[in-house]
């Protein structure tokens, strides 16, 4: 079970949470996988999701790429969740640090994940710190971009069916920058 570190009810009625825990244990409608554009899930969050969820997730991911092509930042893919306690895995492709336009690409990956959750009719979702692992996105900067993208999504979609967004962070080195950004944001620190 995740440890909820911060929680904020947004003016639009949705709840945003910051938690420390294991995203593969989240009992929400969908979890977001920190994927590559090929949906080959070998390391990091993606590897953990497939190890716990089972081979069906990789099989469905490979089928998705065969049918739809490579996954873009703004248009994530989705699969069922195999043995995970959620219903779906949304496979978001965050940017690799140094490729250019990283902030915009990360914003698109977060927004695309939330939009896909809405299209699937979901009410709860858990996201990791996209792109901050092997993709090398600086954690403090990612925290600013990810939190701003979530707040921006709900500003533009105030009546969204999605009611709970939980950021689930695994280690103290990732938790700390997110706490710092959260506590400095007037929209969240109220």
Per-residue pLDDT of 34-48, as tens digits, reads 999 999 988 888 889
Per the CB < 8 A criterion, the answer to whether 34 and 133 are in contact is: yes
* Model confidence pLDDT, tens digit, residues 160-182: 999 999 999 999 999 999 999 99
Among the residue ranges 23-32, 45-54, 65-74, the one predicted with the least confidence is: 45-54
* Model confidence pLDDT, tens digit, residues 55-72: 999 999 999 999 999 999
Q: Which token pair is 109? A: 């990956």
CA 131 – CA 110 distance, rounded (Å) = 11
CA 54 – CA 123 distance, rounded (Å) = 24
Percentage of the chain exceeding pLDDT 90: 89
Domains (ranges, CATH) in the chain? 3-184 (3.40.220.10)
CA 157 – CA 162 distance, rounded (Å) = 10
The b/e string for 54-67 (b: 16+ C-beta within 10 A; e otherwise) is: eeebbebbeebbee
β partners of residue 81: none
Which of 20, 55, 22, 58 is CA-nearest to residue 39?
Answer: 58
What pTM did the predictor assign? 0.96
The H helix count followed by the E strand count for the chain is 5, 7
């Amino acid at each position: 079970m995740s440890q909820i570190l911060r929680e904020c009810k947004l003016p639009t009625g949705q709840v945003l949470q910051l938690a420390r825990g294991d995203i593969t244990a989240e009992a929400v409608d969908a979890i977001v996988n920190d994927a590559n554009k090929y949906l080959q899930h070998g390391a990091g969050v993606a590897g953990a999701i497939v190890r716990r969820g089972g081979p069906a997730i990789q099989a469905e991911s490979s089928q998705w790429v065969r049918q739809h092509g490579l996954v873009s930042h703004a248009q994530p893919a989705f699969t069922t969740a195999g043995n995970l306690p959620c219903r779906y895995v949304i496979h978001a492709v965050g940017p690799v640090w140094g490729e250019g336009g990283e902030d915009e690409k990360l914003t698109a990956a977060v927004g695309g994940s939330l939009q896909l959750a809405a299209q699937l009719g979901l009410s709860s979702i858990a996201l990791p710190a996209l792109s901050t692992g092997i993709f090398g996105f600086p954690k403090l900067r990612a925290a600013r971009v990810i939190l701003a993208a979530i707040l921006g999504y709900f500003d533009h979609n105030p009546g969204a069916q999605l009611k709970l967004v939980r950021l689930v962070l695994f280690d103290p080195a990732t938790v700390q920058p997110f706490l710092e950004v959260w506590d400095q944001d007037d929209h969240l620190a109220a």
